[in-house]
Amino acid sequence: MEEVFEKVDEMEEDMKDSLMKMIRISAIGPENDGEGEKERAEFILELIDDFGFDSVERYDAEDDRVPSGIRPNIVATKEGETDKNLVIVSHMDIVPEGDLEEWDTDPFDPVFEDGKIYGRGAEDNGQALISSIYAVKALTELGVKPEYNMKIVMVSDEETGSQYGVGHLLEEGVIKKDDMVVVPDHSEDEGKKIEIVEKAGLWVKIIVQGKQGHAAFPDQNINANRVIARYQNLVDEELHHEFQQEDELFSPPQSTFEPTKRLANVPNVNSIPGKEVQYFDCRVLPSIDLERVKATFQNATKQIEEETDAEIDIEFSKESEAPERTPEDSDVVQNLKKAIEEVTGVEAGLAGIGGGTVAKGFRRRDIPTAVWCSNKGLAHQPNEYAVLDYMVKDCKVFARFALGE
């Protein structure tokens, strides 16, 4: 085991270089006006060519919204001594950089400083992708055959719904019930906890129709901006009043109901906006019925419509009930715990999250899935970075896991 850990330490510089090269190749989905993941997938395929995988399969999903027409998914397998599969699922796609003013460096020209690699997608999910493939490389270079088949899965479309990524792979039957799935795409407590359960999710779109007009004559118009403000205050209060339950496995332990995106209204200051569109992102504890949450939005709609002359429509989307939690005594959780303890000395605890990883799709199909990696939780933020030490450490954990008893 010491040899494996030493081997991984030796590869530190290569891992760093690979991540930095990958960051230079953008991989943004069409929903975010990107051209998809094809170029990045080709980079990865070339990179792992001599890593010692026994097979590399591609499961491209067709998508005519991207220039290449495909959303690539890679399944690279190193065979083990047994039939059991350790499946490590990371994603190739990234989110856009956001406001460039907020970045101290170019998000697509990575910078290494103080042991950190800065760039968009460095942590989400580049770090884990690199650590998973190098775990295979380390064993190959030592001529060690793992106990479990190592299936390194790298998907598209994680950031915008997973239909062309994990969804496509599940349709194709690539990942099965007795597989042990690790999704290194979220970190609790910088790797000291393993996530086994998630909240349910719901997006709500509220459309307020008022009457646009000159700002000097509010009495002749219906200010949709004022109406949406009232609506937000009301529904915010109601939701937080009605759903106060807590579950300590989660952080935060309560359900969350956040007003997020607002569409632009009028372009000028002296017009009263006649229409407002506001979104809410809800993450709800598994014990709460989503129908009750929807009813709270509907009741607020009724009340505000009665109090104002505006018309309000609401639309629900991305509704997803929370799946059954992955059992604590499942092989994947137990093996992962053992590997983490051996590499870091930490006895990992268990946790739940607010949703948002592909684990949900696996758990729905009763595939035991552990979400784990070590990171700082900088996903989607400006000045996102990956900690090189964490990338090396997680690589050791994956290698250790694959070696079995």
Residues designated as active site? 93, 158
CB of 20 to Zn ion, least distance (A): 18
Q: Which is nearer to Zn ion, 272 or 373 (CB)?
A: 373
Site for Zn ion in 7-36 (CB under 5 A): none
Residue 346's CB is within 10 A of a number of other CB atoms, namely 15
Query: Look-up: residue for tokens 């990338």?
Result: 391
Q: Which is nearer to Zn ion, 29 or 274 (CB)?
A: 29
Range in contact with Zn ion (rule: CB under 5 A) among 14-22, 122-130, 173-181, 387-395:
122-130
Q: Which H helix or E strand runs over 282?
A: strand 275-284
Q: Report how far residue 332's alpha carbon sits from residue 335's, in angstroms, rounded to the nearest whole number.
A: 5
CB of 384 to Zn ion, least distance (A): 11
Q: Which is nearer to Zn ion, 160 or 334 (CB)?
A: 160
Q: Which is nearer to Zn ion, 185 or 394 (CB)?
A: 185
Q: Which is nearer to Zn ion, 75 or 359 (CB)?
A: 359
Q: Which of 37, 123, 124, 179 binds Zn ion (CB under 5 A)?
A: 124
Q: Which H helix or E strand runs over 257?
A: strand 256-262
Count of residues engaged in binding Zn ion, rule: CB under 5 A: 3
Range in contact with Zn ion (rule: CB under 5 A) among 25-33, 121-129, 162-170, 282-290:
121-129
Range in contact with Zn ion (rule: CB under 5 A) among 43-51, 64-72, 102-110, 116-124:
116-124
Binding of residue 127 to Zn ion (CB under 5 A): no
Q: Report how far residue 259's alpha carbon sits from residue 276's, in angstroms, rounded to the nearest whole number.
A: 13
Q: Which of 185, 188, 276, 281 binds Zn ion (CB under 5 A)?
A: 185
- With 0-12 / 13-18 / 19 or more C-beta atoms within 10 angstroms meaning exposed / middle / buried, residue 178 is exposed
Q: Which of 77, 90, 125, 308 binds Zn ion (CB under 5 A)?
A: 125
CB of 154 to Zn ion, least distance (A): 12
Binding of residue 131 to Zn ion (CB under 5 A): no
Residue 382: is the preceding peptide bond cis (ω within 30°)? no
CB of 188 to Zn ion, least distance (A): 14
Following DSSP, what letter does each residue of 171-220 receive, concatenated?
HTT-S-TT-EEEE-S--BGGGTEEEEEE-EEEEEEEEEE-B-EETT-GGG
Residue 125: is the preceding peptide bond cis (ω within 30°)? yes
Q: For residue 171, what are the contacts with CB-CB under 8 A and spacing of at least 6?
A: none
CB of 125 to Zn ion, least distance (A): 4
Q: Which H helix or E strand runs over 338?
A: helix 331-344
Q: Report how far residue 156's alpha carbon sits from residue 158's, in angstroms, rounded to the nearest whole number.
A: 6
Residue ranges that bind Zn ion, judged by CB under 5 A: 124-125, 185
